[in-house]
C-alpha cells in the first residue's frame, strides 16, 4: 500500500523527517500557525504555505488510501481480485484513475448488458470476442446467433447479436486505459463552444461575449469557465465540448479490432460506435467539464484568498476617537461616535441632503461632535450618498480648528453584519443602521478586528464566489482569516469573542469564556491567568499564548510574540547582558551580538532564537503596513461626471484573473483590464496590485447604460 510520508516528501521536495515531524504535530492537535511560528526546529522551518500544502495533500492521500482499501475489499468479495488488478490499484495516486479501475466491478443498476446476460447471451459475446484475432477465419455470426434463439426471451438472430454487442460495449466502455486516453485527448484537443439562446437579443445580457464563443479546453481561463457554467445555470446560454469524433472512433478501432474478417470488423465497428456514444461520451464530457470547473474553483478561491488576506491586513488608521457616518439621502446620515478603544459612545441622525436648513443643522451637529469627543478620524461609508456626504463633511472641516483625517471606507458587508446575530448580541438596543455606522468606523480603526465578524463571502472581494465549491471556499477562507489573525496577534484585553475564536487553539466556546472571565475579573494582567478560563487547558494555552498580547501587563514579554515556553531563555539573555527585562528592547546592539549557541536547548534552536531577538528589538509591533488613504477628485460623484482621459485617484477593491476593480468615487467600480495594469506584459494581476492599494488611473471608456468604466494604470 501507499507510503504516504515518502510520497509527500517526494512531491513537496521535503525531507522525510520534516514530513514525519509535521504530521506528528498535526496529530497532536497543533495548528498550522503554531507549528509555523513555534516549532521551526522540528519541521526544518517549513512555512505556512508548505504546511497547508502538506496538510491538504495528506488529507487527499489518506482518503485515497481508505477508498482503495474499500475497493479492494469489494472486488475481493466478488471473487474477482487478481494479482494483476491489485498491482494496478495499489500504486494509484489519483482518485480518477482509481475509479476507472473499479468501474467494471462497481454495483450498477440494470443495464442493457445485464439484461442480455440474464437472457443467456454472454457465451455468444465471448464467442464473438474469440473471433476478434489476427488469424481469424471467416465465420457466419448469424448461424452462431441462431443457437441462442429462445421463444420467451430472444426471438431473432438480430436480437441475439444486439444483446452480445451490448455486453461487449459495456466491457469496452469500462476499460480504464481507454477512458484515461480519451479523457486526456479531450482535455488536450477539445474545445468549448457556446451560444446565447435566441430569447436574448444582442446587447441584452451580461454574457454577451459568449454569444459565439470558442476556446480550447486547455486554454480556458478560470473566470471564463465559471461564467459559462453560470450562464448555462441561468438558462442564458448553451455550451458544449467539441472534438474530433472521427479520431476517437479511429482510436477505439485501432485498440479493439484485431481481425481482418469483414463481418466481424463491421460488427465491432458498430459495437464501438455504440459503446462510445451511449456509454462513454456523456460521462467523459461531464468529467472534462468537472475537471475544468474544479480547476477554475481552485484558482478563483486562490484569488479570493489573496484578496481577503490583503483586505484583512489593510493598514489600520489606529485606535483613535472616530466619527463614523453611514450616508443616506432620504433617510439621512447615521452618525456614530466611537472612542479610542472602539467603544460606542453616541448616535445622531443628520440630514445634510434635504435642504439648506437641514444642511446647516447637520453641519452644526457634526462640528459639535468633533469638538466634544476630540475626534481624530472620520469614516464615511462609500455607498449611496457617500461622495455627497464626503463633500459635506469637507465643508464642515473648514470651520474646525483641529481637523480630523477624513476617509471614505468600503462598506461591503456592513449591512450583513448589522443584521447578524453577532451585531444583535453586541448592540441589542440599537437599530441596524446604527450598527452599520459603528462597523464602518471600526473598519477604519482596525480592519482585521472588525471584518472577522462578517462572513468573508459578504465582503465583496471574490470572483464568481457563489459558483465555486462552497465547502472548499469556506475552508480556505477560514484558513486565511486564521492566518491573518495569528500573523498580527490579538490584544487579549480588548478583542471580541469573534476575533479570539480565530486565534490558534481557541474554539468559539473558549473565546466566549475568555470574554466572560474578562468581564467578571477585569483585564488580564499576565498570560498565566488564561489557565483560569473555563475549558482552556494546557494544550489550548500552548497553542494560543504566543498570539495573545497584554499591553501594560506584569511581564513585558506578554506584549510580544515570544512564547511563554521561551521566557526562561529571554531571562537568561537579559541576565547575561546585565539588562533589566523591562529594558531589553532598548539593548538592540547587545542583542545582535549574542552567541546563539550558548542558549540552544533540546527544544529551542537557532531559528526560534532568531525570532526571539527580532521580536525583542521591536516588541508589540504591528506587522501591517503604514496607513494610507485615497483622495477622490472633487466634483466627480457619478459616472456622468467622468470624461475620457481624466486622471483620478482610487482604491483597488478587488483583484481578478483578468484585471483589477478600482473605486474612483462614483458608486461604480471601474475595471483596469490586465492589459492596462502596466507598460509590460502581466501574467498575474496580483504581481502588480493588491486589494486596498491606492492607485492613479486614467479613464479609457465609459458606458453609462451598462454602468461599465474602463480604466488604465499605464503611465501617461
Q: Are residues 397 and 328 in the same domain?
A: yes
DSSP state of 655: E
Residue 275 lies in a domain: yes
Q: What is the DSSP letter of 154?
A: B
Q: Bridge-partner residues for 697, per DSSP?
A: 648
Residues pairing with 191 in the sheet: 216, 242
Q: What is the CATH number of the domain that holds 440?
A: 3.30.420.140
Q: Is residue 582 part of a domain?
A: no
Query: Do 150 and 70 share a domain, yes or no?
Result: no
CATH of the domain at 45: 1.10.10.650
Q: From CA 536, how far away is CA 500, in angstroms rounded? A: 13
Q: Are residues 121 and 216 in the same domain?
A: yes
* pLDDT of amino acid 204: 85
Which of these three, 394, 421, 445, is where a domain ends? 445
> Would residue 675 count as lying in a domain?
yes
> 370 and 296 share a domain?
no
Residue 382, CA atoms < 13 Å, CB-side half-sphere: 23
Q: Is residue 557 part of a domain?
A: no
* Residues 360 and 290 occupy one common structural domain: no
Residues 269 and 133 in one domain: yes
Looking at the fold, whether 276 and 390 belong to one and the same domain comes out as: no
Instruction: Please give the pLDDT value at position 412.
Output: 87
The three three-digit cell numbers of residue 507, written as one number:
474554539
Distance CA 481, CA 479 (A): 6
Q: Indicate the DSSP class of residue 504.
A: T
Residues with Cβ within 8 Å of 454's Cβ and at least 6 positions away in sequence, in order, are 413, 416, 417, 420
Supply the Cα-derived Rg of the chain in whole angstroms: 33
CATH number for the domain that contains residue 679? 2.40.50.140
Rounded Cα gap, residues 571 and 557, in angstroms: 10
**Do residues 712 and 697 make contact, with C-beta atoms less than 8 angstroms apart?**
yes
Q: How far is CA 533 from CA 494, 496, 517, 525, 541, in A?
A: 16, 16, 6, 13, 10
Q: Answer yes or no: is 475 within a domain.
A: no
DSSP codes, 663-674: E-SSSS-EEEEG
Predicted local confidence at residue 75, as pLDDT? 97
What residues of the chain score a pLDDT lower than 70?
Answer: 1
| Domain range enclosing 165 | 112-306
Q: In terms of domains, do 60 and 202 share one?
A: no
Chain centroid, CA 517 distance in Å? 34
Distance of CA 529 to the CA centre of its chain: 36
What's the CATH code of the domain at 202? Answer: 1.10.3500.10
Cell numbers found for residue 320 = 483613535
Residue 239 pLDDT: 94
**Cα 18 vs. chain centroid, distance in angstroms?**
26
How many domains, the chain? 4
Q: Is residue 453 assigned to a domain?
A: no
Note whether 329 and 261 are same-domain residues.
Answer: no
172 neighbors 275 (Cβ within 8 angstroms): yes
In this structure, are 77 and 30 located in the same domain?
A: yes
Looking at the structure, tell me whether residues 139 and 256 fall in a common domain.
yes
- Cell numbers representing residue 388 in the block: 455627497
616 falls within a domain:
no
Looking at 412, 445, 478, which one is the last position of a domain? 445
Query: Facing residues of 652 across strands?
Result: 662
* 233 and 123, same domain (yes or no): yes
Q: Does residue 259 fall inside a structural domain? A: yes
Task: Judge whether 313 and 448 are in contact, CB under 8 Å.
Answer: yes
Last residue within a domain, chosen from 445, 465, 480? 445
Amino acid at each position: 500500500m501507499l507510503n504516504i510520508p515518502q510520497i509527500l516528501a517526494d512531491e513537496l521536495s521535503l525531507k522525510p523527517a520534516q514530513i514525519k515531524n509535521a504530521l506528528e504535530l498535526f496529530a497532536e492537535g497543533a495548528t498550522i500557525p503554531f507549528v509555523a511560528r513555534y516549532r521551526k526546529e522540528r519541521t526544518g522551518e517549513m512555512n505556512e504555505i508548505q504546511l497547508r500544502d502538506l496538510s491538504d495533500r495528506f488529507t487527499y492521500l489518506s482518503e485515497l488510501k481508505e477508498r482503495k482499501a474499500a475497493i479492494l475489499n469489494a472486488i475481493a468479495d466478488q471473487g474477482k481480485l487478481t494479482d494483476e488488478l491489485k498491482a494496478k490499484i495499489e500504486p494509484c495516486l489519483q482518485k480518477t484513475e482509481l475509479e476507472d479501475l473499479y468501474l467494471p466491478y462497481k454495483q450498477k443498476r440494470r443495464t442493457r448488458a445485464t439484461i442480455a446476460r440474464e437472457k443467456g447471451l454472454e457465451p455468444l459475446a465471448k464467442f464473438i470476442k474469440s473471433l476478434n484475432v489476427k488469424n481469424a477465419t471467416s465465420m457466419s455470426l448469424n448461424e452462431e446467433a441462431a443457437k441462442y434463439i429462445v421463444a420467451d426471451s430472444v426471438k431473432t438472430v438480430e436480437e441475439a447479436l444486439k444483446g452480445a454487442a451490448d455486453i461487449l460495449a459495456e466491457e469496452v466502455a469500462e476499460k480504464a486505459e481507454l477512458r484515461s486516453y480519451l479523457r486526456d485527448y479531450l482535455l488536450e484537443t477539445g474545445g468549448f463552444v457556446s451560444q446565447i439562446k435566441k430569447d436574448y437579443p444582442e446587447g441584452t445580457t451580461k454574457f454577451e461575449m459568449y454569444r459565439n464563443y470558442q476556446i480550447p479546453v486547455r486554454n480556458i481561463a478560470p473566470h471564463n469557465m465559471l461564467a459559462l457554467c453560470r450562464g448555462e445555470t441561468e438558462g442564458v446560454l448553451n455550451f458544449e465540448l467539441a472534438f474530433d469524433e472521427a479520431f476517437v472512433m479511429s482510436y477505439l478501432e485501432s485498440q479493439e479490432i484485431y481481425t481482418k474478417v469483414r463481418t466481424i470488423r463491421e460488427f465491432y465497428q458498430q459495437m464501438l460506435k455504440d459503446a462510445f456514444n451511449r456509454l462513454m461520451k456523456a460521462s467523459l464530457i461531464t468529467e472534462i467539464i468537472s475537471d475544468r470547473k474544479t480547476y477554475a474553483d481552485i484558482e478563483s478561491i486562490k484569488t479570493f484568498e489573496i484578496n481577503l488576506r490583503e483586505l484583512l491586513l489593510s493598514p489600520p488608521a489606529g485606535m483613535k476617537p472616530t466619527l463614523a457616518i453611514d450616508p443616506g439621502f432620504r433617510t439621512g446620515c447615521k452618525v456614530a461616535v466611537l472612542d479610542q478603544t472602539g467603544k460606542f459612545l453616541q448616535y445622531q441622525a443628520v440630514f445634510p441632503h434635504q435642504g439648506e436648513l437641514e444642511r446647516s443643522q447637520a453641519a452644526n451637529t457634526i462640528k459639535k461632535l468633533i469638538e466634544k469627543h476630540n475626534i481624530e478620524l472620520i469614516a464615511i461609508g462609500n455607498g449611496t450618498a457617500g461622495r455627497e456626504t464626503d463633500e459635506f463633511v469637507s465643508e464642515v472641516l473648514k470651520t474646525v480648528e483641529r481637523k480630523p483625517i477624513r476617509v471614505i471606507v468600503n462598506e461591503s458587508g456592513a449591512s450583513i453584519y448589522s443584521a447578524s446575530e453577532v451585531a444583535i448580541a453586541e448592540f441589542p438596543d440599537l437599530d441596524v443602521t446604527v450598527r452599520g455606522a459603528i462597523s464602518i468606523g471600526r473598519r477604519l480603526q482596525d480592519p482585521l478586528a472588525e471584518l472577522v465578524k462578517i462572513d468573508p463571502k459578504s465582503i465583496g472581494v471574490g470572483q464568481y464566489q457563489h459558483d465555486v465549491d462552497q465547502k472548499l471556499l469556506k475552508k480556505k477562507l477560514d484558513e486565511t482569516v486564521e492566518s491573518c489573525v495569528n500573523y498580527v496577534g490579538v490584544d487579549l484585553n480588548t478583542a471580541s469573542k469573534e476575533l479570539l475564536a480565530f486565534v490558534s487553539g481557541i474554539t468559539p466556546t473558549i473565546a466566549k469564556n475568555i470574554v466572560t472571565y474578562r468581564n467578571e475579573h477585569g483585564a488580564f494582567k499576565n498570560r498565566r491567568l488564561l489557565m483560569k478560563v473555563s475549558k482552556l487547558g494546557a494544550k489550548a494555552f500552548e497553542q494560543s499564548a504566543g498570539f495573545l498580547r497584554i499591553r501594560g501587563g506584569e511581564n513585558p514579554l506578554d506584549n510580544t510574540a515570544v512564547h511563554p515556553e521561551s521566557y526562561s531563555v529571554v531571562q537568561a539573555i537579559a541576565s547575561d547582558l546585565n539588562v533589566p527585562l523591562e529594558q531589553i528592547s532598548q539593548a538592540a546592539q547587545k542583542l545582535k551580538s549574542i552567541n546563539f549557541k550558548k542558549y540552544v536547548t533540546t527544544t529551542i534552536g537557532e531559528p526560534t532564537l532568531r525570532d526571539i531577538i527580532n521580536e525583542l528589538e521591536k516588541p508589540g509591533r504591528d506587522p501591517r503596513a503604514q496607513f494610507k488613504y485615497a483622495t477622490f477628485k472633487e466634483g466627480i460623484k457619478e459616472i456622468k461626471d467622468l470624461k475620457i482621459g481624466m486622471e483620478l485617484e482610487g482604491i483597488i477593491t478587488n483583484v481578478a484573473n483578468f484585471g483589477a476593480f478600482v473605486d474612483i468615487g462614483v458608486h461604480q467600480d471601474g475595471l483596469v483590464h490586465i492589459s492596462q495594469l502596466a507598460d509590460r506584459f502581466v501574467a498575474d494581476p496580483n504581481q502588480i496590485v493588491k486589494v486596498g492599494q491606492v492607485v492613479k488611473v486614467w479613464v479609457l471608456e465609459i458606458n453609462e447604460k451598462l454602468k461599465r468604466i474602463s480604466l488604465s494604470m499605464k503611465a501617461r
